[in-house]
Amino acid sequence: MTRDIRGDARPVDAPDAPAPPPTGRRAMTGPTTRDELPLLLTADEVATLLRTTRKAVYAMAERAALPGAVRIGRRLLVHRDDLLRWLDERRAPSPGRTRR
């Protein structure tokens, strides 16, 4: 047995606890396919899909750089299909492959 930082006893071969996720990044959890996503996405859901911050999503919507963005009062919602189509159009081809 060894002692950890708090002085608690644990077996020598016990694995260490997993590292916490890095701060400032969103974990990719939740729906994974197009049909599992709601029709209207919130700013947080868009930020998770784009792997950016909520603040950046609001800035993109303000500059009209985010397709399908709709304001309802102070709330920002984005049409799922418009966003996914926009992402698909901007997808870079894989290296070594040609598009036909």
Helix (H, G, I), strand (E, B) or coil at 29: coil
28: tokens are 């990719």
Are 97 and 55 within 8 A, CB to CB? no
Q: What is the pTM of this model?
A: 0.63
Task: State how far the Cα of 35 lies from the Cα of 94, in Å rounded to an integer.
Answer: 25
74: tokens are 């102070």
Are 10 and 4 within 8 A, CB to CB? yes
Query: What's the one-letter identity of residue 14?
Result: A
Strands (E), the chain: 2-3, 9-10, 40-42, 69-72, 75-79
CATH entry 1.10.10 includes domain 33-90? yes
What is the tens place of the pLDDT at every residue in 16-72? Answer: 666 555 555 445 566 667 778 999 999 999 999 999 999 999 999 999 999 999 999
- Which pLDDT value is given to residue 71? 96
